[in-house]
């Protein structure tokens, strides 16, 4: 490509509504322009990167045996009524009427449409497994669209849907997609993690999110730097931090702790480690026509409750925090000095795995300004029900036993789900099984946010000059900047030669023949983030040299003029090899 | 591709709502499936052909210097209010509100959005010409969607928009697009014509439609088989069929023509050629506060009025047909025997170009059951105002003087327009001209109906067995059908070898390894329309032969087994060369 035949719309200033760096840089680099809130034009520079992402995604989906089709953006309400999501889905689902007053939606996702295809096309177990995918424009009516392409309303996704005859098949299909996603994000040149995730609203069981690691990410991820383990902090398993419970050494002692209602204050006051205190959290569950059940969840003083884990404990589904009145009624004291000893009415006690192995610990005495030290299971309290009810922390052992957890922030760019039969049962998508009987198909769904990837890649790769693209998705891989091409025949000749050589080597190169001053040229391409630059000037050429600078390099280097193209082509090839 | 890893959804029966052959065959071949009226899933077989069309379109757009971007489907009402089309556009424009009750449309076209881009990005004449294009999904809320992809509601279009500093620039940009479209439709392997068109509602002046020629087409096209001339019948210029007016030979004679109110009947009754009679059509135009002006338009008996041409005559814009009461008042007689002689009140007479050169012709006498023969201009009537007011007919001279017109039917698949400043003036899209003053940009717009092309190609290329694809857009170019691959190692070996050789030759080949019976295989691929087939069987191989059949061939031929792949690859190469 020659820049004179291309459109470069760089800007000095970012728009006022751009809060994060990727949004600012995408607008300044001329990649996107706002049309309405969360709705963008993808300008030529931006579209080139989008197409490169799409191409890698397609190659890997095809390699994994998925088959491409294309479903419509506009979908009839009937399908969403069948699945139940016409009612369940919130106002993010854009609903409208056509000229005949029929109800439609603008598709934020395509489970309904693809399930309709499957129930019409797949009649026998012999036709499965099958995995349909599409790269398609979606719409989600976000209440507060922001962050550019990171939380837009109209966006491009790759979504795919697998259909299997049984759960074993679904697991295989899921694993194929998981592996394909690992290849995709590796080829995209991104630092990422596959993260075990909770399923959320889409239903079914078993899912992973793929996160690009970036400080500006929205999600906290627990990961093990020395193994493959990663999970959303909410989903990561917390192992007991104490392998075996020690025998009691202290006597049970009621101690005055005036004003110390928090674990930190108690530890300070008594000169103890925070790790020997206990946080008691009181929950309630309703019993129809009777008084509620009151629960005490016990966590080590430095740990936090994980409500999702708590809600999965038998009897705790749909729990709420206890009211102050309930606390006074059950414990005889307002919150602040609560504990499992001497409650006024019976309480169900759940101990976190770590708490269950503690001895000589400190709890509230159910009396204002008093705590009890030297508390021990078995001796002072009955053996507790034990469960994993806390969030993991940095330094915790990794659940896979292969190291210690760290916490980082991530941007979700992909998601794989085992849906099971949620949609196939709701919509009657059955097939004839080997036993001759109809059975619901086992479904998986797998998404990649194509446009979101651009934002995530930038959040991970930028500096004060602009974007730093990985070679695989840079709008151009190399820019050739001739100095005074109009004045110097020598410069023109070499610039054209180097450009032609790069093209022949299969490199995506742009020749900046706009006739701009060097400062403008360099600033534009640094902002746009082209990873390799060749500067061709008369002075260098007279010494047989061309100047090379990688986008991350502090200094330029000189290459022999005749080898420059070949040398850059090799750098790119090396970067793209996985 | 191996068929066992692909999805083939052929059907025996076409759906009841499919009226035309392309709709029936696209559903039966498993290319499309209905989701709602005018909204389709593009199944894997269909999407392959769509992608091939898109690829050819992109290559030629890029070659012509157009730059790809991507605009959103969802567009804010504000832009459409600026252009005036929020009010002007009918209910085909799907309007809706988002969750914040803001008005939006689903884009049926993108003049507003691209003009908004241009006014923000293009500041100087130095930045033009520029031509932006996209391949994008559009929505038009057709009142009666039908004919499958031919008149759908959601469809894929390539649309592009050129911006120039002056009219000369616009004409150059227009010509480039015209030439690109000729290359595109040639490469698509379609029999087509570029047709001069009337502009219709989009505004501006100067446009051509590109039509695929097919008997089932919606539009009548006049074209010259011996030249490049083609135009919509409504737009084609009708030359005078008589070069010079002959001197009068007959006397003016009032003749009894009882019951002969039509030219055909008059000619029969009097034993004359229909070509010597005159059809008199009476029109009226309103004059505020006064009686209307009455016009008589005179056409040869075998010609038809072209109302678009008539409406362009000075004074006739907004005409209507005269009422019977007006006819009686102006001519003294009801319709049927009207003529320009002896009217009761003054009438403006317009003669078609051919009529103006006639002599000794026949007109109505303004008296029931009477006509007048031997009428001559100058002698019996004043010299008329002359204009082209008729439709061309088969056999008319071509307006380019290079032959004789024929009439055919066509399916519009592309359109190029000179918009001029319609949108740039309405939306304030100006630039600084060389004289330092702001001027509105000169715009052109250029569309190709990507999905519609599939339907048009099928209307032009099918037989009783199914579709017959041109090589360039066939979902697969060759199918390899092994006979009993599971039973015969020999067949399997050769099938795999031929398949690999074709892949290496860059041919888009599918190996039918599904294990279906020959009859099922052949029927599927004939229905899907794969243009080349190789059948690999044990009997043939033992004689060193593989059977080849082109989709249009009546008979199969035998090829030496070792040369079969090469031979087919050459056939395809030859077909794709333009």
Cα separations in angstroms, A38 against A150, B62, B433: 9, 29, 34
Positive or negative, the CA dihedral A420, A425, A426, A427 is positive
Return the structure tokens found at A172. Answer: 């295989």
Residue of B nearest to A143 (CA): B99
Instruction: Report chain A residues whose CB lies below 8 A from the CB of B113.
Output: 35, 41
Q: Which residues contact B170 (CB under 8 A, 6 or more apart)?
A: B162, B164, B418, B420, B442, B443, B444
Tell me how far apart the alpha carbons of residues B538 and B544 are, in angstroms, rounded to a whole number. Answer: 9
Test mutation, B6, B72, B117, chain A, max A CBs within 10 A = B72
Instruction: State residue A266's pLDDT score.
Output: 95
Question: In Å, what is the CA distance from A155 to each residue of A29, A54, A431, B274?
Answer: 19, 13, 34, 65
Cα–Cα–Cα angle for A185, A189, A193, rounded to 5 degrees? 45
Cβ proximity of B30 and B45 under 8 Å:
yes
Sign of torsion over alpha carbons A397, A401, A406, A410: negative
- How far apart are alpha carbons B535 and A163 in whole angstroms? 32
For chain A, positions 555-574, list CB contacts with chain B under 8 A. Answer: none
Among B41, B137, B141, select the one facing A69 at the smallest CB separation. Answer: B41
Task: Kindly identify which residue of chain A lies nearest to residue B105, measuring between CA atoms.
Answer: A96
Test B44 with A69 for CB contact under 8 angstroms.
yes
Put simply, the answer to whether A76 touches B130 (Cβ < 8 Å) is no
In angstroms, what CA-CA distances link A48 with A52, A107, A260, B196, B555?
6, 25, 61, 35, 47
Contact B141 A98 (CB under 8 A): yes
Which CA distances in Å does A125 have to A112, A428, A441? Answer: 21, 15, 9
- Shortest CB distance from B98 goes to which of A46, A130, A141? A141
pLDDT at B201: 39
> Which tens digits make up the pLDDT trace of B166-208?
999 999 999 999 999 999 999 999 999 999 876 443 344 488 9
Question: Cα separation of B118 and B430, whole Å?
Answer: 9
Find out whether A532 and A480 touch, Cβ atoms under 8 Å: no
The answer to whether the CB atoms of B42 and A106 lie below 8 A apart is no
Name chain B contacts of A69, Cβ cutoff 8 Å.
Answer: 7, 41-44, 46-47
* B262, two tokens: 């039509």
Cβ contact B12:B21 at 8 Å: no
For strand B290-300 and strand B406-420, is the pairing parallel, antiparallel, or unpaired?
Answer: unpaired
Answer yes or no: do B41 and A96 touch at CB < 8 A.
no
Mean pLDDT of A557-570: 97
Q: Is the ipTM of this complex over 0.90?
A: no
Of B256, B257, B69, the C-alpha closest to B159 is B69
B163 at A interface, C-beta within 8 A: no
Strands B192-196 and B207-213: antiparallel
Q: Which of A35, A104, A106 sits opposite B113 (nearest CB)?
A: A35
Taking the C-alpha atoms of residue B400 and residue B49, their distance in angstroms, rounded to an integer, is 37
A91–chain B nearest CA distance, Å: 6
Tell me the C-alpha distance between A246 and A298, whole Å. 18
Cβ of A72 within 8 Å of Cβ of B41? The answer is yes
B interface mutation test: which of A71, A74, A82, A514 has the most B CBs within 10 A? A74
- The per-residue pLDDT for A204 is 40
Burial class (CB in 10 A: 0-12, 13-18, 19+), A287: exposed
Helix (H, G, I), strand (E, B) or coil at A207: strand
Alpha carbon B512 to its chain centroid, in Å, reads 37
| pLDDT, average across residues A225-241 | 89
Q: How many CB pairs under 8 A join A and B?
A: 140
Q: A116 vs chain B: nearest CA distance in angstroms?
A: 9
Nearest-5° angle of CA B144, CA B145, CA B151?
125
Q: Does B154 touch chain A (CB under 8 A)?
A: yes
pLDDT at residue number A198: 63
Q: Are B286 and B321 in contact (CB under 8 A)?
A: no
Cα–chain center distance at B413? 5
Q: Which residues pair with B160 in a beta bridge?
A: B133, B446
Distance, in Å, from the CA atom of A294 to the CA atom of A283, rounded to the nearest integer, reads 6
- List, for chain B, all residue ranges whose pLDDT scores fall below the cut of 70: 198-205
Q: Does A81 touch chain B (CB under 8 A)?
A: no
Rounded to whole angstroms, the Cα distance separating A195 from A61 reads: 20
Chain A neighbors of B106, CB-CB under 8 A: 74, 106
In the block, tokens 């279009």 appear at: B157
Using a CB–CB cutoff of 8 Å, tell me whether B101 touches chain A.
no
Whether the pLDDT of residue A201 is over 70: the answer is no
Whether the per-residue pLDDT at A202 is higher than 80: the answer is no
Do B395 and B238 form a contact (C-beta atoms < 8 A)? no
Please answer whether residues A195 and A210 qualify as being in contact, where contact means their C-beta atoms are separated by less than 8 angstroms.
yes
Percent with pLDDT over 70 in chain A: 99
Distance, CA of B549 to CA of B480 (rounded, Å): 11
**Spatial separation of the C-alpha atoms in residues A454 and A148, rounded to whole Å:** 10
Q: Please indicate whether, in this complex, the C-beta atoms of B94 and A99 are within 8 angstroms of each other.
A: yes
Taken as a whole, chain A contains a residue count of 578
Residues B326, B294 contacting (CB under 8 angstroms):
yes
pLDDT digits (tens, 9 = 90+) for A329-355: 999 999 989 999 999 999 999 999 999
Contacts of B104 in chain A (CB under 8 A): 36
Q: Could you tell me if B162 and B177 are in contact, meaning their C-beta atoms sit under 8 angstroms apart? A: yes
Both ends of chain A: CA-CA distance in Å?
A: 27
CB contact under 8 A, B33 and A117: yes
Identify which of B41, B113, B141 has the shortest CB distance to residue A113: B41
User: What is the pairing mode between strands A67-68 and A130-139?
Assistant: parallel
Q: Say if A321 is an interface residue toward chain B (CB within 8 Å).
A: no
Rg (CA), chain B: 30
Mean pLDDT of A445-462: 97
| Structural domains for chain B | 45-236+407-459 (3.30.930.10), 253-387 (3.90.960.10), 476-576 (3.40.50.800)
Asked if B381 and B180 count as a contact pair (C-beta separation under 8 A), the reply is: no
Neighbours of B223 (CB within 10 A): 23
| Element of type H or E holding B18 | none
Pick from A41, A47, A74: CB nearest B154: A74
Strand A532-536, strand A478-482: pairing = parallel
Q: Which residue of B has its CA nearest to A94?
A: B98
To the nearest whole Å, the CA of B36 is away from the closest chain A CA by: 6
Which among A44, A68, A137 has the least Cβ separation from residue B73? A137
If you measure CA to CA, which chain B residue comes closest to A41?
B71
Residues of A whose CB is below 8 A from B72: 35, 39-41, 137, 154
Q: Please tell me which residue of chain A has the smallest CA distance to B5.
A: A65
* C-beta atoms of A44 and B65 within 8 A: no
Are the beta carbons of A73 and B72 separated by less than 8 Å?
A: no
Contacts (Cβ under 8 Å, ≥6 apart) of A100: none
Cβ atoms of residues B300 and B355 within 8 Å: yes
- Integer Cα distance of B182 and B176 in angstroms: 10
Instruction: Please provide the average confidence, as pLDDT, over all residues in chain A.
Output: 95
B229-250 in b/e burial notation, b at 16+ Cβ within 10 A? Answer: bbbbbbbbbbbbbeeeeeebee
SS3 letters for A103-153?
Answer: EEEECCCCHHHHHHHHHHHCCEHHHCCEEEEEEEEEECCCCCCECHHHECC
| Neighbour count for residue B394 (Cβ, 10 Å) | 10
- How far apart are alpha carbons A5 and B195 in whole angstroms? 30
C-beta separation of B61 from A1 below 8 A: no
Which two structure tokens, joined as six digits, stand for B449? 């109906």
For residue A416, give the nearest of A171, A62, A230 by alpha carbon: A171
pLDDT-derived band at A200 (thresholds 50, 70, 90) equals very low
Chain B within 8 Å of A137 (Cβ-Cβ)?
Answer: yes
Distances (CA, A) of B368 to A535, B364, B375: 91, 9, 18
Q: Which of A146-150, A429-433, A460-464, A470-474 shows the lowest mean pLDDT across its residues?
A: A146-150
How many Cα atoms occupy the beta-carbon half-sphere of B499 within 13 Å?
A: 20
Q: Which residue has the tokens 């949620």?
A: A422
Q: Which single residue is written with the structure tokens 């000729």?
A: B182
Instruction: Please write the tens of the pLDDT for every residue from A13-57.
Output: 999 989 999 999 999 999 999 999 999 999 999 999 999 999 999
CA–CA separation, B128 vs B122, rounded Å? Answer: 8
Check CB contact under 8 Å for B72 and A47: no
A11 touches chain B (CB under 8 A): no
Query: B373-386 in b/e burial notation, b at 16+ Cβ within 10 A?
Result: bbbbbeebbeebeb
CA distance B141 to chain A (A): 7
Q: Are the Cβ atoms of B39 and A141 closer than 8 angstroms?
A: no
pLDDT of residue B235: 84
Q: Do B96 and A94 touch (CB under 8 A)?
A: yes
Name which of A97, A98, A154 is nearest B74 (Cβ-Cβ).
A154
Task: Answer whether A64 touches B (CB < 8 Å).
Answer: no
Report the residue of chain B nearest A71, measured CA to CA: B41
Burial of A566 (0-12, 13-18, 19+ CB in 10 A): middle
Q: Judged by CB atoms within 8 Å, which residues 441-460 of A form the interface with B? A: none
């Amino acid at each position: 490509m020659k820049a004179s035949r291309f459109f470069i719309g760089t800007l000095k200033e970012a728009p006022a509504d751009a809060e994060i760096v990727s949004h600012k840089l995408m607008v300044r680099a001329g990649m996107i322009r706002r049309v309405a809130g969360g709705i963008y034009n993808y300008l030529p520079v931006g579209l080139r990167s989008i197409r490169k992402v799409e191409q890698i995604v397609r190659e890997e989906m095809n390699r994994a045996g998925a088959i491409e089709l294309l479903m419509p953006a506009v979908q009839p309400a009937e399908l969403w009524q069948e699945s139940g999501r016409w009612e369940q889905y919130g106002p993010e689902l854009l609903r409208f009427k056509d000229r005949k007053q029929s109800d439609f939606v603008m598709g934020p996702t395509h489970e309904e449409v693809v399930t309709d295809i499957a129930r019409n096309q797949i009649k026998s177990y012999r036709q499965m497994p099958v995995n349909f995918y599409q790269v398609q424009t979606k719409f989600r009516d976000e209440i507060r669209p922001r962050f550019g392409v990171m939380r837009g309303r109209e966006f491009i996704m790759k979504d795919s849907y697998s259909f299997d005859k049984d759960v074993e098949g679904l697991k295989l299909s899921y694993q194929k997609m998981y592996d394909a996603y690992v290849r995709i994000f590796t080829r995209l040149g991104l630092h990422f993690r596959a993260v075990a995730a909770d399923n959320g609203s889409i239903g079914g069981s078993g899912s992973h999110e793929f996160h690009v690691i970036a400080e500006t990410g929205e999600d906290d991820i627990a990961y093990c730097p020395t193994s493959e383990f990663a999970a959303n902090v909410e989903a990561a398993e917390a192992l007991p931090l104490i392998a075996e419970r020690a025998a009691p050494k202290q006597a049970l002692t009621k101690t005055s702790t005036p004003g110390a209602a928090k674990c930190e204050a108690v530890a300070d006051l008594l000169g103890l480690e925070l790790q020997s205190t206990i946080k008691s959290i009181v929950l309630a569950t309703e019993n129809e026509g009777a008084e509620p059940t009151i629960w005490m969840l016990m966590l080590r003083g430095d740990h936090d409750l994980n409500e999702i884990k708590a809600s999965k404990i038998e009897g705790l589904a749909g729990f709420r925090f206890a009211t102050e009145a309930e606390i006074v009624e059950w414990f005889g004291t307002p919150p602040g000095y609560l504990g499992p000893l001497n409650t006024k009415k019976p309480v169900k006690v759940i101990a976190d795995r770590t708490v269950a192995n503690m001895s000589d610990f400190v709890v509230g005495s159910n009396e204002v300004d008093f705590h009890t030290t030297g508390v021990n299971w078995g001796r002072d309290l009955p053996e507790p029900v034990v469960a994993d009810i806390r969030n993991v922390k940095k330094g915790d052992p990794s659940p896979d036993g292969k190291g210690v957890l760290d916490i980082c922030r991530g941007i979700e760019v992909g998601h794989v789900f085992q849906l099971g039969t949620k949609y196939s049962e709701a919509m009657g998508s059955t097939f004839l099984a080997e036993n001759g009987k109809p059975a619901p198909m086992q479904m998986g769904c797998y998404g990649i946010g194509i446009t979101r990837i651009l934002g995530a890649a930038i959040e991970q790769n930028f500096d004060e000059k602009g974007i730093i693209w990985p070679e695989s998705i840079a709008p151009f891989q190399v820019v050739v900047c001739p100095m005074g091409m109009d004045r110097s025949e020598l410069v023109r000749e070499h610039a054209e030669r180097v450009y032609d050589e790069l093209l022949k080597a299969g490199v995506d190169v742009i020749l900046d023949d706009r006739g701009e001053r060097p400062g403008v040229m360099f600033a534009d391409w640094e902002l746009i983030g082209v990873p390799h630059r060749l500067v061709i000037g008369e002075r260098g050429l007279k010494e047989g040299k061309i100047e090379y600078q990688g986008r991350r390099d502090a200094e330029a280097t000189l290459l022999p003029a005749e080898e420059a193209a070949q040398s850059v082509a090799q750098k790119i090839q090396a970067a793209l090899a996985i």
